[in-house]
Structure 1
Amino acid sequence: MEQEHFFQCPHCWEEISMILDASVRQQTYIEDCEVCCNPIEVSPTFEDGELIEFRSLSIEQ
C-alpha cells in the first residue's frame, strides 16, 4: 500500500513529494531531494494505513 506525501525540503525549502510504503508501521531511511539533490532523513509512522507522523531532517554532507 503506497501513499504520496508532500512536504518541504529542509535544505532548499521547495515542496517535494515522496511515495511512502504505508504497509510498514514505522520506518527511517534517506532519500535525496528531487530539487536540490541533498540527502534527507525521512521518518514516517503509519497506523492502520494512515500517516500519523512524518519527520524530515537535513543530513549534512
Structure 2
Amino acid sequence: MYEHYFQCPYCWEEISMLLDPSIQRQLYVEDCEICCNPIEINSQFNNNNELQSFQANNLEQ
C-alpha cells in the first residue's frame, strides 16, 4: 500500500489515504476523515508502482 497526503477540497485539512499500487488506475469516492464530505479520488500508478498522478475532487461543483 502507498500512503499519499493531500488537502481535502472542502475543509482544506491535510489528510492521507492508502492507495493500492497494484491497481494502475483507480477512480472512487471516499469521505474525508475530518469533515465527512465525499471526495472523488482519481489516481494512476506507472509500471514501477510509482504514483504518476493524483486528483482529489469536490463532488459538489
TM bucket by the smaller chain? over 0.9
Alignment-derived partner of residue 3 in structure 2? 4
Following superposition, the deviation at residue 46 of structure 1 comes to: 0.1
Aligned twin of 1:14: 13
Q: How big is each residue's C-alpha offset from its partner over 1:18-46, in whole Å with a ceiling of 9 and x where there is no partner?
A: 00010001110000000000000000100
> What is the letter of the counterpart of residue 51 of structure 1?
L
RMSD: 0.5
Q: What TM-score do the two structures reach when normalised by structure 2?
A: 0.93
Corresponding residue pairs, total: 59
Structure 1: runs of 5+ lacking an equivalent: none
SS at match of 1:13: coil
Q: Distance in 2 between matches of 1:54 and 1:31?
A: 14
Matches of residues 1-61 of structure 1 in structure 2 within 5 Å?
A: 2-47=1-46, 48-60=48-60
| 1:36 aligned partner, one-letter code | C
TM-score with structure 1 length normalisation? Answer: 0.93
In structure 2, C-alpha distance between the alignment counterparts of 1:31 and 1:42, rounded to whole Å: 7
Counting aligned pairs with the same residue, the percent is 56
